[in-house]
Amino acid sequence: MEKTLVIIKPCALQRALTGEVIKRFEQKGLRLAGIKMMQLDDRILREHYAHLAERPFFQRIKDSMMITPVIVTCWEGKDAVKVVRAMTGSTNGRDAVPGTIRGDFSLSVQENIIHTSDSVETAAVELARFFSDDEIFAYNYQSLPFLYANDEI
């Protein structure tokens, strides 16, 4: 099964949406494989958002992501990256379709509730950035036969 990273951002913590975000992924049928709270710092944000480091809005991103701790999570499931991205909605909350996490809870391009990995390759890099091997758990998920056809597992 595929794994992906979801970071629940400070804006979601401030608005008490953490449980709602986790609930949506659980209700979809994704398996929570790792979760922890951590305070992001300049080093990890420069690494994580290296592709944006030279952009004029990079300081705004860093400031926003360091206001409070974040919740980093690892979700697992068939096509997990694609499923999570579809559930998340457009980066700009004003453009996100109602029913998606951002469509229901965000009006901002920055304060948009969560970060999600954008590809299987990126997910592997990001998960390694935020989790050590012993923080990602494999366990018997009893619901699998009720979530997937037997040839999908």
Return per-residue pLDDT of the chain as tens, 153 residues.
Answer: 999 999 999 999 999 999 999 999 999 999 999 999 999 999 999 999 989 888 999 999 999 999 999 999 999 999 999 999 999 999 999 999 999 999 999 999 999 999 999 999 999 999 999 999 999 999 999 999 999 998 998
Q: Is residue 31 assigned to a domain?
A: yes
* Count of the separate structural domains present in the chain: 1
Q: Is residue 112 assigned to a domain?
A: yes
CATH of the domain at 98: 3.30.70.141
- The structure tokens 């952009």 sit at 55
- The structure tokens 């949406």 sit at 17
C-beta of residue 21 within 8 angstroms of C-beta of residue 79: no
Q: Is residue 153 assigned to a domain?
A: no
Q: How far apart are CA 61 and CA 144, in angstroms?
A: 37
Q: How far apart are CA 8 and CA 23, in angstroms?
A: 12
Residue numbers annotated as active site: 115
Q: Is residue 86 assigned to a domain?
A: yes
Q: Is residue 94 assigned to a domain?
A: yes
Its domain, for residue 127, covers: 2-145
Closest CA to 40 of 17, 5, 67: 67
Strand order in the sheet with 114-116: 31-38, 70-77, 2-8, 114-116
Q: Is residue 41 assigned to a domain?
A: yes
Q: Is residue 151 assigned to a domain?
A: no
